[in-house]
Amino acid sequence: MQKLSRRTTAAAVLAVAALTAATALPASAATTSATAATTAASTTALAAPDIPLANVKAHLTQLQSIATANGGNRAHGRPGYKASIDYVKAKLDAAGFTTSVTTFTSSGATGYNLIADWPGGDPNQILMAGAHLDSVSSGPGINDNGSGSAAVLETALAVSRAQLKPTKHLRFGWWGAEELGLVGSKAYVNSLPTTERSKFSGYLNFDMIGSPNPGYFVYDDDPAIEKTFKDYYAGLGVPTEIETEGDGRSDHANFKNVGIPVGGLFTGASRTKTSAQAQKWGGTAGTAFDRCYHSSCDTTANINDTALDRNSDATAHAIWTLGTEPSVPPGDAYENTADVAVPDNGAAVTSSVTISGRTGNAPAALKVGVDIKHTWRGDLVVDLVAPDGTAYRLKNSSSNDSADNVIATYTVDASSEAANGVWKLKVQDIAAQDTGYIDSWKLTF
């Protein structure tokens, strides 16, 4: 009732006209300011170089030679493993990394992890990429996991070639005895004091990324890391799927278990490619992604070059994107100023801001600044949606609140939510006739 009478006034018509103009007018201006304001983070990260496939394959050739010269494998406790460590370490030392080899014992044999630090970056924000370097004893382990080891190595060498000055501190790791139960990476994580663990902004894992009948799988873990990989693939126009062939079956599990945000890539192991997957990715339906998984035929012939090339470039993309985004001190605001129309009496709409590179959870007093232009704000239900999907109600609808606009700052206890990820402002208009748009909103940490 009230609404109808109000709607028929000239003032209301004028207001709607003004609103339409405001929405329609500065499309490009609005987009520009949104870009500038939406987390300095994602807008000013540097673009990664192309990682030469030939370089990655040259590392695989060397790992194959090492296996061939050492009884056909590079397994924990066998000479081919230590020779693999020596090969990777020499490349990194020559490129200016600070390397260290740490030892542990598993099944009565000495195991080795190799850690390489790129000098510089914020020591309180460590971005790490890693891969297990050991094979099973039954074969040379070129896809599992020469592929991930070589992609991480060549990405590190590209960091050196670029003489990259990242905002984060970059660290690279090659793990021993993964095939015995993620042993080396566990020893590494256990060796980190709690204060060191809290400095990790992320750990990226690469285990089997050149499978001969490949799928393109992204770990469904930290949303910001996952998005970084998905964005890379979206840019190629290649569809991805969420990795489901064994969550926790590689070294990232040890990082995740102590609360470090993780992500990674995978092209499939012994599981069978479906016909739907073969249709979108090519390859052979009804056969395994890697039919030489854990066997003697996991040689340099057991690699799909396209998959290895894409995933090596994706590795570099993630290191550059996540490693060079500006670090954001507490108190900074993340804002999205792009206008989003709220359909009258319609479906909910959202506007996102992406938080990345922060450690830990969101604050207990997270400030949510909301600027919604609307001709009858009682129509609106407004929620903040955390990266994991939890919704926090900011405002309910109320049929008699006829005032214009929702311009307010709400305080939300978001301390149970991981800070990193895609946060959304969700707005729904639940009554007919009056309309509006999200003008801007921001989160202040």
Q: State which of residues 204, 208, 328, 370 lies at the interface with ligand TRP (CB under 6 A).
A: 208
Cβ contacts of 315 within 8 Å, gap of 6 or more? 51, 129, 151, 152, 155, 204, 206, 209, 265
Nearest Cα residue to 283 out of 355, 221, 214, 196: 214
d(CA 34, CA 26) in angstroms, rounded, equals 12
Binding mask 372-391 for Ca ion (x = CB under 5 A): -------x------------
Q: State which of residues 6, 7, 197, 249 lies at the interface with ligand TRP (CB under 6 A).
A: 249
Residue nearer to Ca ion on the CB measure, 273 or 374: 374
Contact call for residues 126 and 81 (beta carbons, < 8 A): no
Residue 318 sits in the site that holds ligand TRP (CB under 6 A) = no
Burial class (CB in 10 A: 0-12, 13-18, 19+), 135: buried
Residue 221 sits in the site that holds ligand TRP (CB under 6 A) = no
d(CA 252, CA 131) in angstroms, rounded, equals 9
d(CA 87, CA 91) in angstroms, rounded, equals 7
- Rounded least distance, CB 98 to ligand TRP, Å: 27
Interface stretch with ligand TRP, choices 162-170, 240-248, 254-262, 326-334 (CB under 6 A): 240-248
Residue 154 sits in the site that holds ligand TRP (CB under 6 A) = no
Indicate which residue of 154, 178, 243, 417 is catalytic.
Answer: 178
d(CA 295, CA 275) in angstroms, rounded, equals 25
Does 178 participate in catalysis according to the annotation? yes
User: What dihedral do alpha carbons 440, 425, 322, 319 form, nearest 10°?
Assistant: -120
Residue 243 sits in the site that holds ligand TRP (CB under 6 A) = yes
Instruction: Return the structure tokens found at 151.
Output: 């992609």
Interface stretch with ligand TRP, choices 183-191, 231-239, 244-252, 411-419 (CB under 6 A): 244-252
Residue whose CB is nearest to Ca ion in the complex, by number: 379
Residue 298 sits in the site that holds Zn ion (CB under 5 A) = no
The footprint of Zn ion on residues 236-295 (CB under 5 A) is none
Binding mask 257-296 for ligand TRP (x = CB under 6 A): ---------x--x---------------------------
Q: At what angle do helices 53-69 and 148-162 cross, to 10 degrees?
A: 130
Residue nearer to ligand TRP on the CB measure, 117 or 207: 207
CB atoms under 10 Å from CB of 392, counted, come to 17
- Rounded least distance, CB 142 to Zn ion, Å: 12
Q: Using CB distances below 5 to 8 A depending on partner kind, what does residue 207 bind out of Zn ion, ligand TRP, Ca ion, none? A: ligand TRP
Question: What does the DSSP assignment read for 282-296?
Answer: -S-TTSBS-TTTTST
Residue nearer to ligand TRP on the CB measure, 245 or 401: 245
- Rounded least distance, CB 433 to Ca ion, Å: 5
- Rounded least distance, CB 245 to ligand TRP, Å: 4
Residue whose CB is nearest to Zn ion in the complex, by number: 144
Please count the residues of this chain forming the interface with ligand TRP, following the rule CB under 6 A.
11
The footprint of ligand TRP on residues 166-205 (CB under 6 A) is 178
d(CA 97, CA 114) in angstroms, rounded, equals 12
DSSP 3: H
- Rounded least distance, CB 409 to Ca ion, Å: 24
Please count the residues of this chain forming the interface with Zn ion, following the rule CB under 5 A.
1
Say which residue the tokens 């050196």 belong to: 160
Q: State which of residues 344, 361, 369, 405 lies at the interface with Ca ion (CB under 5 A).
A: 344
Contact call for residues 150 and 48 (beta carbons, < 8 A): no
Interface stretch with Ca ion, choices 145-153, 336-344, 363-371, 387-395 (CB under 5 A): 336-344
Contact call for residues 394 and 372 (beta carbons, < 8 A): no
Please count the residues of this chain forming the interface with Ca ion, following the rule CB under 5 A.
5
Which phi-psi region, left, alpha or beta, contains residue 127 (left: φ > 0; alpha: ψ -120 to 50)?
beta
Nearest Cα residue to 60 out of 270, 311, 302: 302
Residue 144 sits in the site that holds Zn ion (CB under 5 A) = yes
- Rounded least distance, CB 243 to ligand TRP, Å: 5
Residue nearer to Ca ion on the CB measure, 111 or 378: 378
Q: At what angle do helices 79-94 and 148-162 cross, to 10 degrees?
A: 20
Give the DSSP H/E element, type plus range, for residue 384. Answer: strand 380-385
Give the DSSP H/E element, type plus range, for residue 429. Answer: strand 421-429
DSSP 209: -
Task: Write out the residues near Ca ion by the rule CB under 5 A.
Answer: 344, 379, 429, 431, 434
Task: Write out the residues near ligand TRP by the rule CB under 6 A.
Answer: 144, 178, 207-208, 243, 245-246, 249-250, 266, 269
- Give the catalytic positions in this structure: 178
Task: Write out the residues near Zn ion by the rule CB under 5 A.
Answer: 144
